[in-house]
A and B are shown apart, each in its own frame.
Chain A
Amino acid sequence: MRSIKGIFVFSLLILAFLSYPVVGYTRERVIVEVAGLSCPFCAFGLEKKLKQIPGAEKVTIKVSEGKAEVEVAEGKKVTKEQVSQAVKESGFTPGKIEIQEEREGTP
């Protein structure tokens, strides 16, 4: 009886270990260079358009660097085209776009 209980606990531990990477997730962060961003008050429209991208969770506009960062909700994907289009629609010119993948929930 004792050994069955031990096997059961051991199995649970193995199962937890094997399933742990599965409960982790990836989160995207998109960094886009925005040319023409010389007027901070004008960033209102840029922020609005970037936030409208499906999956966009948080937008940070670094005026001094001429860049905007979009943090994407877990499990969601954003394409470079979507980001480029949003920047254009806000009245600015998109530059280099970089998508970084950050794995969260893993050791």
Chain B
Amino acid sequence: MTLRGKRGISLAFLLTAVVLGATPAFAQGPPINTETALLAGFTNAFRTFDQEIDRSGDLPGGMRGDLHVHAVPLMFPYAVTEGKWVVGAAVPYLDKKLDVKGPAGTTSFSENGFGDLRLFTEYAFYIKDEKQKTTRAIVIGGIDLPTGSHGNPDLPQGLWNGSGATNYLMGVAFSYIPARWGFHSDLIYRITIEGSGFEFGDTLRYDVALGYRLWPAIYEVYPSPQINLYFELNGLWEQKSRDISGDGNKVPDSGGNRLFLSPGIQYIPGRAFLIEASVQLPLVENLNGDQLKTDLQANFGFRWLLF
């Protein structure tokens, strides 16, 4: 495959890398894919999950692509002040495989390893507690360090493990939890910087989630087993990328907007452990140019309160 051909493919897969970068890397507790402002829910802990992504579709140049991404983020939030101020780190392990089918046959690309390290902080600036009810809001800040491998000219940029740049994120999250129900939302903007001759587009992540404790109807004494259901809308808008090492122009086959409907279930057997799963069904995929569309996106994982 010519360098020009690789360039065309790479441009079409930018969004994949950005979507992975926007996984819920600092989620503090329920819900599954949306941030919660209730910081008391999940700190001094470890969270991981297996995220499977399958995408396919037409590519520039009359080719067809099939992408499979297997991502395992590892997250460690720590409470500086319980319920008020959290700092943490998150790093994903990534395994990506891309098959490109054209008239000359199929070409495969693959990459795996740890991605960029994210350091983050969250601070609750609004807390209103009532009996069996809480309303909270937090600010979120973070930095992505270029620890993941990047810059391999034989790979499309979207398959790199890291962006090659130090990126910054800031956002807010809001939660209203009146006992059995819970409403959560977040808005997080990520500023991306050029790295290895390429600049991925800035992203805006927007999520809303409705949680419901299915069982038990009345939670008497802690700890008791419980099952929660979640209905989430998870969105990610991305600006077009820029190919600095090439012509310096924005990449036409990059950027756009994806919105997923994500039903999920969570089982808490006792005091310090939970398992959860969600399927992310694409509702909207308004993508610029030729890019791969989502066939399947699903998460399965656990959280463990350590101390």
Contact = CB atoms under 8 A, between A and B. Distances in A.
A28 interface: no
Interface stretch (A6-14, A32-40, A97-105): A32-40
Given A38-B178, A38-B179, A45-B83, A64 B129 contact: no
Contacts of B286: none
Query: In this complex, which of A33, A40, A45, A66 has the most chain B Cβ atoms within 10 angstroms of its Cβ?
Result: A40
A92 B223 contact: no
Nearest to A61: B222
B266 to A, nearest CB: 9
Interface in B11-32: 29-30
Contacts, number: 96
A51 interface: no
A53 interface: no
B131 interface: yes
A71 interface: no
A33 B132 CA distance: 10
Contacts of B182: 38-39
B298 interface: no
A36 B82 CA distance: 14
Interface of A: 33, 35-49, 60-64, 66, 89-93, 95
Interface of B: 29-30, 38-43, 79, 81-84, 127, 129-134, 177-179, 182, 218-224, 226, 268, 271-272, 274, 305, 307
Given A41-B41, A92-B83, 8 more contacts: A35-B134, A36-B134, A38-B134, A41-B274, A43-B222, A45-B83, A49-B82, A91-B83
